[in-house]
């Protein structure tokens, strides 16, 4: 009887031990699976962050090239307009080639208008570009580009006004000769030229700021923040 009891006790204890081992294994397995799932979630998060970063970098690159291309395009129209205007300004008085002045001023106005519109669009492009930048120094450079774009638009608008006034002066002299009273037009023209000179000075200052920012950012010995 005692042997049967001992045998039953042994079997019961063995069952309890096996059960405990199985439970321990299940608990450990659950913990391990939870740990693995946690790692998997971390990997997925890292992968997601990596994809976001890569997409952001790609978007930044695409937008910066688009913005810089648009800026160059705007400058070309402004340069073309400047050329037409410069010729008109040189020959309008006292040479008196008023028909050529009118033609050149009209061409200058057309190009200034296109340049004005493109400069404003360029500013929008740079504003979109900055959304994909995580580097504060890049943001600083892009801010200068935005200011350059706005200043370029201002120059084109003032150039348009100067060309329009100069064309009006040429038209008056062409129709009425030196007997015409153009003092008011001349005053407006000179005021516009003064504003244009001030804006050009501001624009050149922005280019200096941009060059300084580039030199600082791309200096090979600069300290990494």
100-133 pLDDT, tens digit per residue, is: 999 999 999 999 999 999 999 999 999 988 888 7
Residues 6+ apart with CB under 8 A from 112: 77, 78, 81, 85, 156, 157, 159, 160, 163
Distances (CA, A) of 56 to 25, 51, 97, 202: 45, 8, 56, 33
User: Does the pTM of the predicted model rise above 0.85?
Assistant: no
Report pLDDT digits (tens) over 125-138: 999 888 887 777 78
Say whether pLDDT at 56 is over 50.
Answer: yes
Q: From the CB of residue 206, how many other CB atoms can be counted at a distance below 10 Å?
A: 18
């Amino acid at each position: 009887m005692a042997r049967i009891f001992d045998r039953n006790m042994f079997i019961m204890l063995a069952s309890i031990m096996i059960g405990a081992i199985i439970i321990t294994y299940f608990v450990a397995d659950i913990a391990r699976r939870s740990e693995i799932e946690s790692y998997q979630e971390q990997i997925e998060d890292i992968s997601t962050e990596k994809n976001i970063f890569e997409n952001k970098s790609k978007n930044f690159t695409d937008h910066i090239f688009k913005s810089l291309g648009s800026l160059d395009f705007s400058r070309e129209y402004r340069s073309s307009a400047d050329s037409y205007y410069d010729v008109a300004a040189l020959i309008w008085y006292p040479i008196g080639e008023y028909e050529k002045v009118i033609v050149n001023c009209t061409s200058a106005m057309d190009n200034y208008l296109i340049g004005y519109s493109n400069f404003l669009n360029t500013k929008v492009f740079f504003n979109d570009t900055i959304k994909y930048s995580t580097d504060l120094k890049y943001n600083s450079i892009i801010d200068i580009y935005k200011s350059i774009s706005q200043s370029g638009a201002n120059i084109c608008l003032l150039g348009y006004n100067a060309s329009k006034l100069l064309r009006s002066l040429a038209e008056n002299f062409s129709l009425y000769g030196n007997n015409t009273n153009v003092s008011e037009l001349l005053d407006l023209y000179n005021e516009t030229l003064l504003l244009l000179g001030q804006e050009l000075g501001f624009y050149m200052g922005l280019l200096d700021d941009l060059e300084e920012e580039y030199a600082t950012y791309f200096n090979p010995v600069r300290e990494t923040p």
